Structure 1
């Protein structure tokens, strides 16, 4: 599990390509190295990856076909920078919201509004079916960053970023058209899905009652 509080950024220093598979190596900041072991979980742009090799501060991770398909990590090139977060421990402060590191979809940046001391960025999810889970003032994970949703329209949503977020994460350098990873808040997803199921059952029961009443009238 992760908290969505990015602990630093890391440069990708090498990429080994194989059919439907990739190993990339990053240089981790010194503060994130203590206690790191093979098999540990580290989020890259919000995507949970497993440590497969450690060589000083050069840490390697394997990316399978599904990861490359669903996330923006398949677009990463040597020299690019990713947001990094080590897996949370029970004693850690949850400054953002609990995140699993499982990316649901990606979104394109479609609008950037700059104002004094803040920035508003609009995103359009590739999978539009996810929009029903994106609610005003709800939680969302964007490239591993826990953020609060601002305005929401039928097909897009925005977030408001303070200077600290822009300075500490990769969002400060993102341009129009850039693709980011999206993780939907699982609690919101569970609530929306539950409400939909309850309403669907209620509508079905109402339809059956109407049909039964009509049938009884015809028999009479």
Structure 2
């Protein structure tokens, strides 16, 4: 394999995958590099549903290997919400600030020990002629009562990482890449990559 397409238009995500595949001499391209495709409607009930749908729809349209991810936040006190709706939790305008404010409202009065949560990243790998393989990475933490930190995006300013004793938004990119849900999923993909290709 010489090329893999990452089903995203997010340059930050593309860089993470480029670093991963560089050691394998595999060129990484993204949806920023291919001809205009219709957006895949992410209407699945799980991260797995959405990631597989994206990978297979784009992979079959282009006839090339595709990796798609779907990720978000699961809060135990909210029965796993916002889950697959993480990006549009407060509405379709996808505002990080509005999403964080809604999360704080929903958790008002919930004591610290009950504010457990995790970031989830599911990677779906589609190779032409095969069924998609799925890898699920998580990062455990708690939802704080106020935002802190200048790095990252999304819910990072509210997500406390016990292993680092910091908020996700206080971590450097290098620190985040050591413990993040996406790094966790990529490690699993790394361990299985050769056997995937052999199949």
Report TM bin, short chain.
under 0.3
Higher strand share: 1
Higher helix share: 2
* TM-score, normalisation: structure 1: 0.23
**Which protein has the larger Cα radius of gyration, Structure 1 or Structure 2?**
1
Greater relative contact order structure (CA < 8 Å, 6+ sep): 1
